[in-house]
Amino acid sequence: MAGKVSQALYEKIGSEEDARACQDIDDSQCQIVAGNFFKILLAQFLSKSGDALMNPKVTLPWVMQSLGVPAVFLGWLVPIRESGSLLPQLIIANFVRKLAVRHNVWVVGSLLMSLSMIAVALCIHFSHAMTAGWLIILFLSIFSLSRGLNSVAFKDVLGKTVEKKRRGRISGFATSGAGLVTVLVAVGVSLDIAQRHSLTVYTLAFVLAAACWAFGALIYSRVIEQPGAVDGGRNGLWLAFKRLSLIFKDKPFGYFVLARALMLCSALSAPYYVAIAQQQGQSTLLQLSFFLAAGGLAELISGPFWGWFADISSRKVMIIASLVSALLGAVIAISVGTALIGHYGAWFIPGAYFLLTIAHQGVRLGRKTYLVNLGKGNKRTDYVSVSNTLIGVILLLTGFVSLLQPLIGLAGILAVLAMMGFLGALLATRLPEV
């Protein structure tokens, strides 16, 4: 009965002919693709909801400041959260290649993330100042490394179990649902500002995030995945690093990695929007809740659109989203540089942040869908691990851009990032359609 319901819902997402095609996955998966689609969708939604609850750009810094943690720790939150999950992926992929069934790798990663968030919740409740800072950084590092397991496994399992024309919609719907969670979190933050609740509320947020990943692991464990290729699984770690040569030998993949690196502007720009708002005198906690709400609302409404668009052309999604991100950065930089923002900063910058988040979701969803569709089998696993490892290194290097602030100011940094976005969109035009 449940299978018939999932099949009926699956067919309503697109045409019945497409839903039954099964042209780009193994025949053994064809009869169970609808059930896998909804299991992966729900697990991905829970994972993204956990991300919304532990937001390293908002929630973690806020809690750490409340505990009196030295400010030096705050600068490591986002780099550790992002790069820690990317840098070790060549090693992770070498392990994953040896497994014929790989969805359990995602399950293990999700459970480790859940345990990490429980540990952070305990730190908030029972630690103070310096000790809390070190412990939170430690458990965030474990969380980030665990996320690397999920990243490699998710794309590989998605490519094996869900048709190409439906892959982008999984991330789109999951992102939209998590956006609603973020909006609700923003409402909670605004209520806390008024009522001055204790850290118990924030401890609860991390416990709920842990529950999201634990429940997501339970659902993902029920994905039905047929054994796949394990050729090359015993090549050793040295050959794993030799796969870095893919960016030179495989031109479409090399162009993709370079374009993706330039499109990091959509992620790197976000903190500067908040910093400029504070510079304009909009530094209240209520204003912070506006940014949270803007980001959540953007994810809520943009996810399904980008998912649908990515299933038509993930390449065009990357180009358009990168251009929008770059244009927004240029507009903000010019407005600040010419003092045009003035008293309108209270709504102008959160509004621009809303549009930036929409663009960022497009960049993320477009490049994820493009990469999954670009390769097949173990080649897909190689693509994911190589690109993520290189992007992890690049993310750490882009941190040096902040050193330019004394010379060119926040607006100047935004202008540099906007130029990256324009170049990324231009380079993506050279990518083949997949």
Q: Is residue 63 part of a domain?
A: yes
Assess whether pLDDT exceeds 50 at residue 16. no
Task: With respect to residue 392, please indicate whether it lies within any of the assigned structural domains.
Answer: yes
- Decide which of 61 and 263 is more confident: 263
Burial 255-291 (b: 16+ CB within 10 A, else e): bbbbbbbbbbbbbbbbebbbbbbebbebeeeebbbbb
Confidence of residue 424 (pLDDT cuts 50, 70, 90): very high
Between 68 and 4, the higher pLDDT residue: 68
In sequence order, what DSSP letters do the residues of 280-333 get, joined into one string?
TT--SHHHHHHHHHHHHHHHHHHHHHHHHHHHHHHHHHHHHHHHHHHHHHHHHH
Residue 23 has pLDDT above 90, yes or no: no
In this structure, of 44-53, 55-64, 109-118, 179-188, the range with the lowest mean pLDDT score is 55-64
Question: What integer is the mean pLDDT of 284-301?
Answer: 74
pLDDT score recorded for residue 427 = 92
In a domain, 130, yes or no: yes
Whether 433 is covered by a domain: the verdict is no
CATH at residue 419: 1.20.1250.20
In a domain, 348, yes or no: yes
pLDDT band at 310 (very low <50, low <70, confident <90, very high): confident
Token look-up 């935004």 returns 414
Q: How many residues does the chain have?
A: 434
Provide the number of structural domains found in the chain.
1
**Residues 315, 260 contacting (CB under 8 angstroms):** no
List Cβ neighbours of 283 (8 Å cut-off, separation of 6 or more). Answer: 277
| Digit-coded pLDDT (tens) for 98-136 | 777 778 888 999 999 999 999 998 888 777 778 888 888
The reply to whether 434 falls in a domain is no
Does residue 352 lie within any of the structural domains? yes
Q: Is the pLDDT of residue 326 over 60?
A: yes
Domain that holds residue 11: 2-428
- Rounded average pLDDT over 52-80: 71
Q: What is the mean pLDDT of residues 340-366?
A: 80
Q: Is residue 324 part of a domain?
A: yes
Residue 212 pLDDT grade (very low, low, confident, very high; cuts 50, 70, 90):
very high
